[in-house]
Amino acid sequence: MSRLKRLANAIDATNDLVGRSIAWLTLGMVLVEFSVVMMRYVFGLGSTIVQESIVYMHATVFLACAGYALVYNGHVRCDIFYAAATPRQKAVIDLVGTFLFLAPMCVLIWWMAWPYVAASWAVLETSQEGRLGIPAVFLLKTLILIFAGLLSLQAVSLALQSALLLAGVSPTRGRVDGHMEAGT
């Protein structure tokens, strides 16, 4: 049991580290967007690379931080049954939801994205804007696989934590009702 608990905690810590690190890109997005507006409307200048960088940063934050959001129970869910459920009932709902919905969705995304990303890497796909854009669309598309991978890892942690709670093992690392508290 302690190995499963340590594995779940290691996955949580990994997604927490990724999320906290990449979250700084949101500040970068704001600053770059402010710069784009200033360049355009004050100085009459434009830069495709700078504008595309905002898309890259947004995609990175959204896709690479999905596992982080799941660590802290930040994903949208239908709380009709969940909100009033006991911790054990929540663990059952999480376990069933992980195996019926989350894990298959992650596998499907990985399976469908792999040829798409591989084709992009095969030609080292660049921006549609040519020399003016960022020559790394293949890296941007790789974020789809990173999304599926990190979310799959977090699905394993969620399933382990739920199963452990059902087995009578107490939650760890600031978990409340089987979910991480923000800021722990």
Rounded CA-CA distance 52/175 in Å is 39
Residue 127, H or E segment: none
Mean pLDDT of the chain: 91
70 part of a folded domain: yes
Locate 75 and state its tokens: 């994903």
Looking at the structure of the chain, the number of domains it has is 1
44 part of a folded domain: yes
179 part of a folded domain: no
Note down the domain range covering 99. Answer: 2-171
DSSP states of 66-99: HHHHHHTT-S---HHHHTT--HHHHHHHHHHHII
* Confidence (pLDDT) at 182: 47
**Selected residue with higher pLDDT from 140 and 84:** 140
184 part of a folded domain: no
176 part of a folded domain: no
Around Cβ 151, how many Cβ atoms within 10 Å? 24
First to last CA, the chain: 22
pTM of the model: 0.88
180 part of a folded domain: no
183 part of a folded domain: no
Residues 58-96: pLDDT tens digits? 999 999 999 999 999 888 776 777 888 899 999 999 999
Q: Which 3 state secondary structure label does DSSP give 114? A: helix
* Confidence (pLDDT) at 150: 98
